[in-house]
């Protein structure tokens, strides 16, 4: 009796499981529908990604414009003067017998190769390297963007603890530092070391006998920028952009003489 009851229960349970099963109606999409759904999802994701990238670029441009406005509208008097008193006193003793026109800033180059200060009247929008070139002061350079650091000079800024900050003239515009009435740039690294060491002077003089004028730049040290053909502007995809090789200066360093204007004579 017990065995019959167990057999009957097992059969009933199996029958209930079979009745509980539902036939396949289409809970899983066909292959074509699955592919179309994947394509739609991919397109939506790509559109969303493009939208987010566009929003990010707009925010970056807005932040850049805000930074530029803040940079140009900053007031030097807002920064505290931290330079030592002896430095300020020595700075105020310089002779300032020049007259400036409205909107001009006096740029003074000190420790020049001649040992004399060079004072130039420039506008705030001018590049410091161009100002130095206009008076015949050749600051060493190997690039046009300040990446190499060859043109590094020191700028007198009274907001600094020692009164000086490092700058790159090739990517620095003319402006008045904190607590200053003129822009003072120390170009001590432009001085000829041979004037200090007699031995080096003799070596350099002997080497000059085997040097000739560079035929590529005709002794100028610079040539017309070839990527932009001296226009300072590159055209890419029907859009005009500032040349990234010369940064709009229309000239570049001569590759044959490395800006020296002289090359060694080959025998």
Residues 243-254: pLDDT tens digits?
887 878 888 888
**Selected residue with higher pLDDT from 16 and 165:** 165
Asked whether 107 and 120 are in contact (CB, 8 A), the reply is yes
Architecture of domain 77-190: Roll (3.10)
Which stretches of the chain are assigned E, i.e. beta strand? Answer: 105-110, 118-122, 153-156, 164-167, 183-186, 211-213, 222-224, 233-236, 239-242, 251-253, 262-264
Tens digits of residue pLDDT in 67-92 = 555 555 555 545 678 888 888 888 88
Query: What are the residue ranges spanned by the domains of the chain?
Result: 77-190, 194-264
Alpha-carbon distance of 93 to 252, in angstroms, equals 38
Is the pLDDT confidence value at 258 over 70? Answer: yes
Average pLDDT of 110-136? 90
Span 1-34, pLDDT tens digits: 555 555 555 555 555 555 455 554 444 455 556 6
**pLDDT category, 121, cuts 50, 70, 90?**
very high
8 A C-beta contact, residue 227 and residue 217: no
Half-sphere exposure (Cβ direction) of 145: Cα atoms closer than 13 Å: 7
Tens of pLDDT, residues 184-224: 999 887 765 444 444 455 555 555 566 778 888 888 888 88
pLDDT at 4: 52
Q: Which residue has the higher pLDDT, 78 or 161?
A: 161
**Distance, CA of 257 to CA of 103 (rounded, Å):** 38
Residue the block writes with tokens 């509980």: 20
């Amino acid at each position: 009796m017990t065995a019959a009851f167990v057999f009957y229960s097992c059969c009933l349970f199996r029958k209930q499981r079979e009745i509980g099963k539902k036939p396949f109606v289409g809970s899983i999409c066909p292959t074509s529908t699955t592919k179309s759904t994947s394509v739609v999802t991919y397109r939506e994701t790509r559109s969303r990604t493009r939208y987010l990238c566009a929003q990010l670029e707009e925010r970056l441009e807005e932040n850049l414009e805000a930074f530029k406005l803040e940079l140009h509208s900053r007031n030097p008097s807002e920064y505290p003067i931290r330079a030592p008193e002896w430095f300020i006193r020595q700075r105020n003793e310089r002779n300032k017998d020049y007259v400036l026109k409205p909107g001009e800033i006096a740029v003074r180059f000190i420790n020049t190769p001649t040992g004399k200060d060079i004072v130039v009247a420039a506008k705030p929008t001018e590049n410091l390297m161009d100002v130095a070139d206009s008076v015949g002061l050749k600051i060493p350079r190997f690039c046009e963007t300040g990446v190499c650091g060859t043109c590094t000079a020191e700028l007198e800024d009274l907001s600094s603890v020692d009164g000086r900050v490092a700058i790159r003239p090739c990517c620095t515009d003319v402006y008045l530092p904190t607590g200053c009435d003129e822009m003072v740039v120390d170009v001590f690294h432009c001085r000829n070391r041979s004037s200090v060491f007699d031995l080096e002077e003799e070596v350099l003089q002997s080497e000059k006998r085997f040097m000739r004028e560079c035929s590529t730049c005709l002794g100028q040290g610079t040539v017309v920028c070839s990527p932009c053909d001296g226009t300072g502007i590159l055209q890419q995809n029907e859009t005009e952009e500032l040349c990234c090789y010369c940064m709009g200066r229309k000239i570049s360093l001569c590759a044959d003489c490395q800006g020296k204007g002289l090359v060694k004579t080959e025998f």
